[in-house]
Structures are given as structure tokens and as C-alpha cells.
Amino acid sequence: MASWAVACANNLSSKPIPARERLIFALDVPGMDEGKRWVERLGASVEFYKLGLQFLMSGQYFDMVEWLGAQGKKVFADIKFFDVPETVRLAVEQLQRRRVAFATVHGNDSMLEAAVSAKGGLKILAVTVLTSLDRGDLDDLGFQCDPEELVLSRARRAIKLGCDGVISSGLEAARLRGELGGSFLIVSPGIRPVENRPADDQKRTVDVEDAFLRGADYIVVGRPIRQAADPRAKAEEIQAKIAGLFGS
């Protein structure tokens, strides 16, 4: 193990999460038929699925949620609630009755508070800074600060308000752990292989081992699996890396 990895090893999650659930596959497809084909194609290589806005617009979102639950799979509803606090509260109140484990909220303190107040057994994850944004993008949006500082500020507030965790690039995970502790969840999207990070809309990326060594509890992977010649083999390759860190 490299010296950098040794230095970060104390950030490795010790939460009692089954190792194979630490990989979340981004089921970014246009509808249920294709979604089912992907789940069947991936089989036991993936136990946790993220359903985002594209699937929401299909009109089959909750049919897919129920179907995944019937297959014994876990669901992450990545809807990024952002609205009047009472509207967020009512939406989360509805969602927590479904077979959903995680949901995202992307808003200010009052929106996060509203979501937390209605979450029941649902875990609320606050979006910090989208992994598609870099310093130049933040400047354009009027945030005159480094992405890491903004992530830390938003995460600190979210945890204080009772959120169960945050969505954060693996790049910021180590500092979040160092300054905010290990009790909350970090879910890291933007996972790309070191040897072949394609030019796409994800700018702040890390690879599988880096994300976990820096402190992530879960990683979200989409295109590296979907675009692989053998998606199931790619998912199992990632699962083998996770098993190497956490055991089976």
C-alpha cells in the first residue's frame, strides 16, 4: 500500500454496511423496460440502485422502485428536492412510505430541516457541490470560494440540521472526515478509473480505492459500468476492489 494510502487508512469506513451494498449503480435509463434489462443483466453484481430525474420523467418511477424492492434490491432516490420548505416536507413524507433507502435534498437550511422533519426511516443526504462543477463553474454561479470550502460549509450545516449524510466528491471526503468525524454517511459520485477518465460532464473525480480510502461509505458508478464491454464483469471488478478494502 502506498504511503498516501497508509496515511488515509484511518478514514476507511467502519460502519456495518454489507460490502456489496457499497456500490450503487446509477440506473440512468429512459424507462422501466430498459431498467429491468439492466438489473437482470447485472444480476448479483449490484445490490443498490440509484434512480434519478431521467427515470422520474418516465412516469414509471415508483413502479421501478417497487419492482426493485421485490427483487431484494435497495433504492436511492436521487431527486434532489429543492422547493419551498413545506413542499419539500410533504414530498419527503410521501417518499418515506416507499421502498427507498436514501433521498437527496439540494437546498438551504430550511429545506433540509423540512426534509429531516418528515424522513421517518428514510436517510436524507444533502447535496454539497455537484461533481460536475469546478472552481470556474462556482465562480460563474457567484460562489467566490474553493469547492472544498463550500463542500465543508454545506456538510457542516447539513449534519447539524440532522441530515444522515452528504453527497460529496471523493476529493473532499478526507477533509470532511477529518473535520466532521465519522458518524455521518458520505456517498461519492463521479467515480472514474484512473487509467481512463473520459472527457465528460464529471470534473471532480476519483477512482474506487481513492474514494473509500478518503472516507466514502458508498460510491455511485454509472457510465464506467454501462459503457464497459461486459458491464457485469466491470461491476464485479469494482466489487472485488471493495472486498479487498472491507472484506466480503
Q: Determine the pLDDT at residue 181.
A: 96
Residue-wise pLDDT tens for the chain (248 aa)?
A: 444 444 455 799 999 999 999 999 999 999 999 999 999 999 999 999 999 999 999 999 999 999 999 999 999 999 999 999 999 999 999 999 999 999 999 889 999 999 999 999 999 999 986 555 454 544 454 555 667 777 888 899 999 999 999 998 888 899 999 999 999 999 999 776 544 444 444 444 689 999 999 999 999 999 999 999 999 999 999 999 999 999 86
Q: What are phi and psi of 141, to 5 degrees?
A: -85, 0
Q: Which of 36, 50, 73, 80 is catalytic?
A: 80
Q: 104, 77 in Cβ contact below 8 A?
A: yes
Place of cell 444480476: 43
Please provide the distance, in angstroms rounded to a whole number, between the alpha carbons at the two ends of the chain: 19
Q: 162, 171 in Cβ contact below 8 A?
A: no
**80 is a catalytic site residue:** yes
Correct CATH for 17-246 of 3.40.190.10, 3.20.20.70, 3.40.50.300, 1.10.1740.10: 3.20.20.70
Q: Determine the pLDDT at residue 202.
A: 45
Q: Determine the pLDDT at residue 192.
A: 63
Q: Determine the pLDDT at residue 9.
A: 57
> Which residues are CB-neighbours of 103 under 8 A, at least 6 positions away?
76, 77, 78, 79, 81, 92, 95, 115, 119, 122, 123, 124, 125
Q: Determine the pLDDT at residue 136.
A: 53
Report the sign of the C-alpha dihedral through residues 200, 129, 148, 101, in that order: negative
Nearest alpha carbon to residue 100 among 73, 60, 130, 127: 73
Parse the chain into domains and list their residue ranges.
Answer: 17-246
